[in-house]
Amino acid sequence: MRTSATSGSRLHVIATARLGGRRPADAPPVPGFAESAFGPLVLAVARRCLTAAYGVPPARLGPRTGVVLASVLGDTTTADTASRQLAAGRTPSALLFYQSVPNAILGVVSREFGITGPMTCVSGLSDVVVDALATAELMLEPGGRPVRQVLVMTVELAPNPRTGEVHAALPDLFRVAVDTAFAALVDRARRRRTRESR
């Protein structure tokens, strides 16, 4: 994900954080989430980004903060694990059903940081980052809810054999080599310099 606003965008990047990229991302486990790194990556990159913005992890951001989570294929590990268990005649863990919805981990993010503003997840076959930033702009439009800033995150998991088939059928689809997460806290006003967590 870019660390500056796209051409023509009115967004300003307050702070960023990144996990993974050249090496696999390492995120602490999250209670209630199993098998997959997707949920832990979301929470870990949110923590890093918000700490970079505020100096310490904020406790209550309230209704003035929105959240957008973007991913091309989503939590492919959970989907693959659950479907393989079903195909083998086993009953999948109830946790897999719960965490198969990307918004589940956003609930954990909202609880930890006291975020009560709008939250949504986006995906697509084109540039999902552009879609995420466009959604953030909509959240920041005047006249609606009093959102002053939006935490935009993108998470992609390393490919597995089944997602490899998807990429073979759609060769232009964005892909990563290892588990990767990026976050940016954005607003409309240019009051602060961008801060990056390393």
Here the CATH number for the domain that contains residue 184 is 3.40.47.10
Inside any domain, residue 198: no
What lies within 8 Å, CB to CB, of 20 at 6+ separation is 41, 176, 178, 179, 180, 181
Rounded to the nearest 10 degrees, how much is the dihedral formed by the CA atoms of 96, 180, 24, 31? -30
Inside any domain, residue 112: yes
Torsion region of 147: left, alpha or beta (phi above 0 gives left; psi -120 to 50 gives alpha): beta
How many angstroms separate the CA atoms of 71 and 44, rounded?
16
In the chain, the number of structural domains is 1
Please state the pTM of the whole predicted model.
0.84
Inside any domain, residue 61: yes
Inside any domain, residue 137: yes
* Span of 39-43, 55-59, 73-77 with lowest mean pLDDT: 73-77
Per-residue pLDDT reduced to its tens digit, 33-51: 888 999 999 999 999 999 9
* Span of 30-39, 83-92, 185-194 with lowest mean pLDDT: 185-194
- Would you state the pLDDT for residue 71? 93
How many angstroms separate the CA atoms of 162 and 59, rounded?
39
Inside any domain, residue 39: yes
How many angstroms separate the CA atoms of 29 and 7, rounded?
37
How many angstroms separate the CA atoms of 10 and 1, rounded?
17
Segment holding 196, helix H or strand E:
strand 195-197
Inside any domain, residue 195: no
Inside any domain, residue 26: yes
How many angstroms separate the CA atoms of 60 and 35, rounded?
30
The residues facing 65 across adjacent strands are: 149
- Would you state the pLDDT for residue 3? 41
Residue-number span of the structural domain to which 97 is assigned: 12-189
Per-residue pLDDT reduced to its tens digit, 120-136: 999 987 788 899 999 99
